[in-house]
Chains A and B, each alone.
Chain A
């Protein structure tokens, strides 16, 4: 074997696949061993670069900022979802009160609104599940209550849409969820009773069953 190239020495240093022949050569050849030691010295020295240090609280600050931004984005999506649901209520009501609906158009509208409702509902149920789980785990958290108020307003629109489009099963789930959200939005912070009610009502389980069945989670 000829002497090995610098590229091969770099691959050997990093233990990339296919370096066995290079390793054997370096062990046997003094000139290549010297070259390899130079590569080792260089790359071992690379950790000396001065990176500005972050203090011990850095992670907490990052998380505070990330969680706030995540909440804003979730809220924005929920608002979008609620607007979509409101629009659907309008469409559904329009078709239900129309005096001479043509059958194919109604069927098509029902199908389309059903699909859009499913998509918007996915985000709503996921947000509700997160909030209720948080309340069950940390009953004293004020943020959960505030979110529950937002969710409650959205939930009413989704329930009305489900009712108007004849999705009975979804409507029933949203009715149960609404009852829980009303209690959450008005219960005192840290209510142990509230946690028990959520668990007893089984709404978390119902959401889980539905989202698993629909492939949402």
Chain B
């Protein structure tokens, strides 16, 4: 039977450091996805994964079993990702910062479902990259990590209202760009 996260954490706390390797192997790919969604950069996401697990390892005694290990390490990773992006922002041109022009849907949707899906994937990536850091992080934690707004607010040090507004603005921006394409996908699926 597969060992639970909680049992592995217990072994780490009682001195078996290698048990943490099991947790890393189990959760590193999902942490990478979370980190990538916030940083929008592969090497930054890799750096975030390592830093997040290192911090989790060092602070394992602070883990409280009220939240799952994946949520806990995900929160650490989100904060690491915010640090990385903030650092990076100091060195990039203002063109790439928040408030950039919205993505234009520059070509008419074709009838091919696979091509549409690919195009939608690209648009999602591009639009996510153009959200402000706060919008992207709050939306990622709510949508992809399933974290309640109350928890996100606490973890990011925001008021609940500010967190909600960040998520709403993210959805609005995504809807503006993806709305027409989402309709195309639905129609295509219906006729297949």
Contact = CB atoms under 8 A, between A and B. Distances in A.
Interface of A: 6-7, 10-11, 14, 16-17, 38-39, 41-43, 45-46, 48-52, 54, 58-60, 62-63, 65-67, 69-70, 73, 129-130, 133-134, 137-138, 217
A59 B29 contact: yes
15 contacts: A7-B168, A14-B143, A43-B143, A46-B174, A49-B125, A59-B24, A60-B21, A63-B25, A63-B53, A66-B53, A67-B17, A69-B54, A70-B58, A130-B17, A134-B16
Interface stretch (B62-70, B92-100, B179-187): B179-187
B153 to A, nearest CB: 12
Interface stretch (B2-10, B30-38, B79-87, B104-112): B30-38
Contact of A42 (B32, B122, B182): B182
B171 A65 contact: no
B159 interface: no
A46 B143 contact: yes
Contacts of A67: 17-18, 20-21
Contact of B142 (A14, A38, A39): A14
B103 interface: no
A120 to B, nearest CB: 18
A48 B186 contact: no
B24 A63 contact: yes
A41 B15 contact: no
Contacts of B49: 62
Interface string B12-52: 00111110110011111100110011000010000001100
Interface of B: 14-18, 20-21, 24-29, 32-33, 36-37, 42, 49-50, 53-54, 57-58, 61, 117, 120-122, 124-125, 128, 142-144, 148-149, 164, 167-168, 171-172, 174-175, 178-179, 181-183, 185-186
Specify the main secondary structure of chain B where it touches its partner. helix
Contact of A46 (B18, B122, B124, B185): B124
Contacts of B26: 59
B17 A49 contact: no
Nearest to B181: A45
A45 B120 contact: yes
A51 B36 contact: yes
Contact of B124 (A49, A60, A65): A49
Contacts of A43: 143, 171
A122 to B, nearest CB: 13
Given A42-B174, A66-B57, A50 B182 contact: no
A54 B172 contact: no
A38 B57 contact: no
Contacts of B128: 49
Nearest to B11: A137
Contact of A62 (B28, B58, B122, B179): B28
Contacts of A48: 117, 120-121, 124
